[in-house]
Structure 1
Amino acid sequence: MSTFAVFGMTRDVALADARKKVKITRKTPQGEVAIPMSEWLQLCEKRADETMAGAKTKQLSPLFDAPQYAEDFISIARRTLKCRDMHIKCRVPLTDALGNPLINKKTGAQKVGWRPYAAHPARSAA
C-alpha cells in the first residue's frame, strides 16, 4: 500500500515559518532591545514573501491512501489559498543506483523516502 501526500508552499505556511524564525529582539551596544510589534510583523511579512518567491516546499497535507484524494486537496487549496508548486509525492522503498534496497544499519529495516508521483498516462488523459 502506497501513501501519498501533497507538497508545496502556501502563504499561511510561509508566514507561520517566518513567525517562528524572526527574532523578537535585536542586539544594540546597550544590550538586547525588544523589536516593536508592528516592525516585527513587517519583518515576518518580508520573510514570508522571500519564502513564497523561493523554491522550498513542505508537506502540506495529511497522508492519503490514494492519489485522487491528494488531487482533491490540491484543487481545493488552489481555489482557496495563495499557493505555489503543489505536487503529489508517494512513499517508496529507497534503492541505490543498482536497484539494491538501502538498509538502515541501526535497525536493519529498509529505508523509505518520498518520490514524486507520476500519474498513470491513461488516467491523466481522461
Structure 2
Amino acid sequence: MTLAEWTEAVQRNADAIMAGEKVKQLSALFDTPQHALQFIELAKKAGACRDLKIRCKAALLDEKGKKILSPKTRMPVIGWADWTPESHKSA
C-alpha cells in the first residue's frame, strides 16, 4: 500500500466516523455540565469537530411535551435528551 492509498483509506474511515449519528458518552470525567462546557470550548479551539452538545439520560417527550410510555411496562422511555440549565435546575 502506498502512502497515497493509505492516506485515502484513513480519510474514508474518518469521513465515515464523522458522518455517524450515534450518541456516546464522552467520559465519566466530564459528567457534569461545567466540565462538559469546558471540554467543548477546548475542542472547538483545537480544530474541526461536530455535534458537540451536552446531553443527559432523561424521559423522552412527544411533540405535545408528554412523556413517552413503554406499551409493555407503562413506564417512561429513557433516552438521550439535550441538556439545558432550565431543564435541570438544582434544588
How many residues end up aligned between the 2 structures? 83
Find the counterpart in structure 2 of residue 71 from structure 1: 37
Find the counterpart in structure 2 of residue 123 from structure 1: none
1-structure distance, mates of 2:22, 2:62: 24
Residues 51-83 of structure 1 deviation map (CA, whole Å, 9 limit, x = unaligned): 54x58464351251x311211221232344542
Give the letter for the 1:59 counterpart: K
**Shift in Å at residue 113 of structure 1?**
1.7
Give the letter for the 1:103 counterpart: L
Find the counterpart in structure 2 of residue 11 from structure 1: none
2-structure distance, mates of 1:49, 1:102: 34
Unaligned runs of 5+ in 2: 87-91
What TM-score, normalized to structure 2?
A: 0.56
- Give the number of the structure whose residues are more often strand, by fraction: 1
What TM-score, normalized to structure 1?
A: 0.45
Find the counterpart in structure 1 of residue 61 from structure 2: 95
> Which structure would you say has the larger RCO, counting Cα contacts within 8 Å and 6 or more residues apart?
1
Identity of aligned residues (%): 28
Find the counterpart in structure 2 of residue 117 from structure 1: 83
**Shift in Å at residue 99 of structure 1?**
3.9
**Shift in Å at residue 89 of structure 1?**
1.5
Query: Who wins on radius of gyration, i.e. which is larger?
Result: 1
Give the letter for the 1:43 counterpart: A
Find the counterpart in structure 2 of residue 30 from structure 1: none
Taking structure 1 as reference, are residues 41 and 110 closer, same or farther at Cα in structure 2, changes over 3 Å only?
A: same
Asked if 1:59 is matched to 2:24, the reply is yes
